[in-house]
Amino acid sequence: MAEVIDGKSVAEDVVSKVKALTAELSAKGATRPGLAVVIVGEDPASQVYVASKSRTAKECGFHSLQHTLPAETSEEQLLKIIGDLNADPSIHGILVQLPLPGHIDAGKVIQTIAPEKDVDGFHFINVGKLGTGELESAFVPCTPAGSMLLIQRVRGKDLSGLNAVVVGRSNIVGKPMANLLLAANCTVTIAHSRTKDLPALARTADILVAAVGRPEMIKGDWVKPGATVIDVGINRIPAPEKGEGKSRLVGDVVYAEAAGVAGAITPVPGGVGPMTIAMLMANTVASAYRAAGLKRPSF
């Protein structure tokens, strides 16, 4: 059976390190890390994510600011708030929770965030730095950055000679994940909905990352024996066995099948999921170190 990669425990290690770095920063007399989270509208899933981000920020000892704006907030009002946060020296990270209401241009909003405060790593400057291998100064999107830490726990930092297949090409997960694997010397293939014979391609992967958003699409016989399988997917499906109207979370991989073949695998929940918020904290503390003129810590 595969080793189960415990994302919850790795995320706790990251948060502990962030707390220690925050305390060190205060001891040096520098401004403590400040994270501003902006949410527009009442999407219940977004409200849960934002509450959890603000809670973890406080737990880390950060100055935590939350702007909860009504759904009818105009684009102009939102851009003004971002401009003010860009200019606020007590804020080192700005996160705008997506999706935004349809009347607001999300791309324009993201590109308005100062690149040095873009802890989500979505600004073109940070995307470009990751694409050109400037990892020392880039902010890398939190989910792929967290997935990479999990891969390194199993495989080490240098992945030379390994074949990686990333299923999914989104700007938030698939593409940055592929760039991180490339920077670590993997031979990388990105698969998507137009890829031919995905099962055969997946079977070539020493590292298989699933970021599709389709419940249990990747079967056990798509997995190469001994492979490291990172399941980014979070899908809620009906679970009548738990009672009427009940549901449960599954990944993009059939866990029970893949765990019999893989060398190591992330569970859903408890794998990649907890890493996202932890890496947001890591990016924010890194931003505060840089603002204080100190060497940026690595994770």
Ligand X SMILES: NC(=O)c1ccc[n+]([C@@H]2O[C@H](COP(=O)([O-])OP(=O)(O)OC[C@H]3O[C@@H](n4cnc5c(N)ncnc54)[C@H](OP(=O)(O)O)[C@@H]3O)[C@@H](O)[C@H]2O)c1
Residue 97 a catalytic site member: yes
Stretch that binds ligand X, among 30-38, 76-84, 103-111, 171-179 (CB under 6 A): 171-179
Q: Is 174 in the site for ligand X (CB under 6 A)?
A: yes
Min separation Cβ 262 and ligand X, Å = 18
Q: Is 272 in the site for ligand X (CB under 6 A)?
A: yes
Contacts with ligand X by CB under 6 A: the residue count is: 25
Q: Is 191 in the site for ligand X (CB under 6 A)?
A: yes
Q: Where are the alpha helices (DSSP H) in the chain?
A: 7-27, 44-59, 75-87, 106-112, 124-131, 142-155, 174-183, 198-202, 255-258, 273-291
Residue 231 a catalytic site member: no
Q: Is 172 in the site for ligand X (CB under 6 A)?
A: yes
Q: How far apart are CA 13 and CA 48, in angstroms?
A: 23
Residue 120 a catalytic site member: yes
Tell me the Ramachandran region of residue 88: left when phi exceeds 0, alpha when psi lies from -120 to 50, beta otherwise.
Answer: beta
* Of residues 147 and 287, the one with the C-beta less far from ligand X: 147
Q: Is 283 in the site for ligand X (CB under 6 A)?
A: no
For CA atoms 185, 279, 102, 114, the dihedral sign is negative
* Of residues 23 and 239, the one with the C-beta less far from ligand X: 239
Report helix angle 174-183 to 124-131, nearest 10.
40
What are the DSSP calls for 192-244, one per residue? -TT-S-HHHHHTT-SEEEE----TT-B-GGGSPTT-EEEE---EEEE-GGG-T
Q: Which residues ranging from 199 to 228 are in contact with ligand X (CB under 6 A)?
A: 211-214
* Of residues 128 and 199, the one with the C-beta less far from ligand X: 199
Min separation Cβ 80 and ligand X, Å = 28
Q: Catalytic residue numbers?
A: 53, 97, 120
Q: Which residues bind ligand X (CB under 6 A)?
A: 143, 167-170, 172-174, 191-195, 198, 211-214, 232-235, 272-273, 276
